[in-house]
Amino acid sequence: MPDCKYLQTKVFFEIGPEKFSCTGHVIVDPGFTSVMTWKAMDDETLPEFKKDQTFSLEEAKLAERQTNPPDYLTESELITLMEKHGIGTDASISVHINNICERNYVNVIAGRKLKPTPLGIVLVHGYQKIDQELVLSTMRSAVEKQLNLIAHGKADFQDVLHHALNIFRLKFKYFVENINGMDELFEVTFSSLAASGKPLSRCGKCRRFMKFIQAKPSRLHCSNCDDTFTLPQNGNIKLYKELKCPLDDYELVLWTTGVKGKCYPLCPYCYNNPPFKDMKKGFGCNECTHPTCQHGLSQTGVSECVECENGILVLDQTSAPKWRMACNMCNVVINFFDNAHKVSVSEDICEDCGSHIVNVDFSKGKTPLEGDETEHSGCVFCDPVFKPLVEKHHARMKRRGGASRTAGRGGRGRGGRSRGRGRGKPKDKMSQLAAYFV
């Protein structure tokens, strides 16, 4: 049976500056309510009104009520709205919804409804505060329309790409310049970085302790300078003997993946702000080309890697008494001296393979040298005393989720190329690298 049909009338009134309205209706066709009489509606007729007619007010009441917020959107309702506003395609809409769930912006509750999390709410409010277009559908739908023009041959791909990248580059730059607005909202809802973590190493600017934020992504934060420094992930971070970087006075930290993994010191500032042109962001001391630093490549590099093309085998100064060297690019590890008291790398070069000569001071009573000698210098790969002690392994590297992988022992390694040495004058990085954002 058809639905009930009625004719609705609406009249507007003005009382001073305020405007009101009243409605009435007359049943035209009762439809199914002729059978289901308990759902039938009565006529609510209004008297005949004329425009500009005046009435006297007999009674006025103020009713106190409370509005209710609209219910959370279901997945199907969200898909309908995305299609209506031109966000995504049939293939990508489900991916977008899955992404906001995995990133903890919303939770799926009973009835397949999407309930925003505190993180999602703060992010939306932060985007609205800085750049409202980042949360409106107009930006995404405009890009989708341009992609449709490309598909129909009405627009050039390179022109659309350049236009879109330029817009988002400018928006990103503006967002970074006004990021404080987002931080203020996060501080209200979540604990700030200054209140998180534990003191670990000293800042090179203010000499106060920076806090180590262990939650991924792990990082160091100086609450006094309001600086944040990213660190290598999937490993352990600890203070490295309270030694300082000669360039910026930041205390070095040690990154390690365990006894069977790799290990190297790094300067938090240099790691995020490379001091030399030949260095990239994310380099540790084992890749630093500083010509005089005792932790840099120039003082600890032994030879080029026995497997990869660009790697350098660097002496691990933290591995005593079981000394080893590791490639600063791949996961090759060379174990060579188990009972040495001191190991250092010399300036001298092996004439046969080009590796740097290594000076070793063995412990008394555990020396492999004849006549109980404890000191010996030679090439790790060519010297008849050192060569039998060399064993090549592959470091155990941690993966996401705590998994790991280990390559089998590769037998005895051979090297044959020299390390690179930087001869330039050390640069005053602190004067060159000023304001930055991490």
**Domain-located, residue 30:** yes
Could you give the percent of the chain with pLDDT greater than 90?
28
For 161, the enclosing helix (H) or strand (E) is: helix 157-177
- Quick one: residue 155, left, alpha or beta (phi over 0 = left, psi -120 to 50 = alpha)? beta
Average pLDDT over residues 334-347: 86
**Domain-located, residue 167:** yes
Of 190, 219, 247, the residue that ends a domain is: 190
- Together in a domain, 176 and 227: no
Q: What is the CATH number of the domain that holds 80?
A: 1.10.460.10
- Together in a domain, 107 and 7: no
Of 282, 313, 329, the residue that ends a domain is: 282
- Together in a domain, 320 and 349: yes
Q: How many domains does the chain have?
A: 4
Q: Quick check: helix, strand or coil at residue 211?
A: strand
Residue 8, pLDDT score: 84
- Together in a domain, 247 and 269: yes
Q: Which domain holds residue 315?
A: 300-396
**Domain-located, residue 100:** yes
Largest CA distance in the chain: 125
- Together in a domain, 186 and 208: no
- Together in a domain, 46 and 86: no
**Domain-located, residue 10:** yes
- Together in a domain, 219 and 183: no
Side chain identity at residue 433, one-letter code: L
**Domain-located, residue 262:** yes
**Domain-located, residue 321:** yes
pLDDT at 226 over 60: yes
Q: DSSP state, 44?
A: B
Most confident of 25-29, 51-55, 87-91, 162-166: 162-166
- CA nearest to 323, candidates 290, 303, 300: 300
Could you give the percent of the chain with pLDDT greater than 70?
88
- Together in a domain, 278 and 310: no
pLDDT at 407 over 60: no
Cβ atoms 7, 28 nearer than 8 A: yes
- Quick one: residue 435, left, alpha or beta (phi over 0 = left, psi -120 to 50 = alpha)? beta
- Together in a domain, 182 and 215: no
pLDDT at 170 over 60: yes
Q: What is the CATH number of the domain that holds 7?
A: 2.70.20.10
Of 249, 282, 315, the residue that ends a domain is: 282
**Domain-located, residue 180:** yes
CA distances from 341 to 72, 181, 351, 389 (A): 68, 55, 26, 15
- Together in a domain, 99 and 43: no
Q: Which residues are within 8 A (CB) of 367 and not within 5 positions of it... i.e. 6 or more apart?
A: 339, 373, 374
Residue 209, pLDDT score: 93
Q: What is the mean pLDDT of the chain?
A: 82
**Domain-located, residue 295:** no
- Together in a domain, 181 and 201: no
> CA–CA separation, 203 vs 222, rounded Å?
7
Residue 408, pLDDT score: 38
Cβ atoms 391, 409 nearer than 8 A: yes
- Together in a domain, 275 and 315: no
